Amino acid sequence: MNARPAILGGPPAFDEPLPIIRPTIAPIDEWEADLRAVLASGIVTVGPMNGRLERAVAEYLDVPEVVAVANCTSGLMLAVQALGLPPNAEVIVPSFTFAATVHAVVWNGLRPTFADSRLDTCAIDPESVEEAITGKTGAIMATDIFGVPADVAPLARIAEDHGLPLLFDSAQSLGATYRGARVGGFGVAQVFSMSPTKVVTALEGGLIATRDDSLAARLRRGRDYGKNTDGMDMEFVGLSARLSEVHALVGHANFLRIDDLVEARRERIGSYQEHLSKLPGIRYQAIPSDRTTSGNYMVVFVEADGFGLTRNELYEALARENIQTKKYFHPPVHSQTAFRQWHDGRPLPVAERLAEEGLALPLWSHLDPATIDRVVEAIKVLHKHAPDVRTSLTEDGAG
């Protein structure tokens, strides 16, 4: 890369925009026959391909039940609904999470109570959860952040002590482990995403893993409007959240490679961290020794005093280099327009700091290592020229 960044007159690091994500999809010749069979059969939703995907994931996770749904958000909505909580009951959630976690609570007529996170792991802080419990608390929902599992054990103890169900928004953690067990069998249910940004994609889709047979049966009815077994009477108000057979077969083809896809992401994250480790003001999410990550995202936290630029300034400067990044998760949910009405004023300093400092860099399982080198070099050059970059951004009104 040129010694001067694009914002100071040098050429951009990439001639064409580098996206933050590209889905890694199994070669079409591995699933084309299934696609032709589905289209010929006329059974295009919740058929044998759904069943095959559910069984494969259940076996891998060592859980008795997996329910495939249209997307993770609908899975979260249905899982929360299945708890049967009274209207306006409080559900404790992290504020440092994707908004879908809280969507599922509000959609069910419940009230989110926001808890803070840990600065090291970025996960919901069990101490903050305990402090947030009131007589109106109906459940706890934790999030696996960036593919790293939440701290299950203390959350489970808190839930048991207070007689509360525990759910996990595990959208990003399919393929991760906690204390030697694959994530999927903890709490009442764990809900995964198979969207294009995830390690294993179905193009779009979601999976609900549970050890509760009766819950799984309800979820299967819930994904089909809430129909009873004969399909004529609606037992409850569910969703149209069925997964198409086409999405299921693509998801299955990709799922068969899950261990390789996870390992490839971890290797690329390791490469980023190795090359950026000597830069001041850059830190990473901690992964405790009792868990492993799915490698879903490569996130750096930018401390302006050390790096020379704020996260927002680095975001803008990398955009000039044709490098797409994302502010994860910004703003924190408790300050978002749709949800701030439920924030009780409880201080959430860690969530706010994480939201101000976190920046996801381009990552996918087949990302060329040479591309990582170019992204890293761009970041190093921006750090080297930080004072001039900051001045230029300020003059442009982008800082």
Q: pLDDT tens digits, residue range 300-342?
A: 999 999 999 999 999 999 999 999 999 999 999 999 999 999 9
What are phi and psi for residue 358, nearest 5 degrees? -80, 135
Token pair recorded at residue 65: 């039940």
CA distance 12 to 378: 9
Instruction: Tell whether the model's pLDDT for residue 368 goes beyond 70.
Output: yes
CA distance 355 to 85: 30
**DSSP-assigned letters across all residues of 234-256:** BSS---B-PPBHHHHHHHHHHHT
Q: How high is the pLDDT of residue 399?
A: 64
Any idea which architecture 28-255 has in CATH?
Answer: 3-Layer(aba) Sandwich (3.40)
CA distance 77 to 81: 6
- Is domain 6-22+258-396 classified as CATH 3.90.1150.10? yes
**Residue among 110, 109, 132, 129 nearest 118 (CA):** 129
Q: How high is the pLDDT of residue 398?
A: 74
Token pair recorded at residue 282: 């850059």
Q: One-letter amino acid identity for 360?
A: A
**pLDDT tens digit sequence for 46-61:** 899 999 999 999 999 9
Give me the mean pLDDT over the 134-147 stretch. 98
Q: How high is the pLDDT of residue 396?
A: 83
**pLDDT tens digit sequence for 61-93:** 999 999 999 999 999 999 999 999 999 999 999
Q: How high is the pLDDT of residue 264?
A: 98
Instruction: From residue 192, give the alpha-carbon distance in Å to each of 71, 295, 296.
Output: 8, 14, 12
Beta-sheet pairing, 189-193 with 181-182: unpaired
Q: Look over the chain and give the mean of its residue pLDDT values, rounded to a whole number.
A: 97
CB distance 152 to 180 below 8 Å? no
Q: One-letter amino acid identity for 322?
A: N
Report residue 189's pLDDT band, with 50, 70 and 90 as the boundaries.
very high
Provide the residue ranges of all domains of the chain, joining segments of one domain with +: 6-22+258-396, 28-255
CA distance 314 to 379: 8
Please report which helix (H) or strand (E) contains residue 27, including its range: none
Question: Fold match between 6-22+258-396 and 28-255?
Answer: no
Give me the mean pLDDT over the 165-179 stretch. 98
Residue % of the chain over a pLDDT of 70: 99
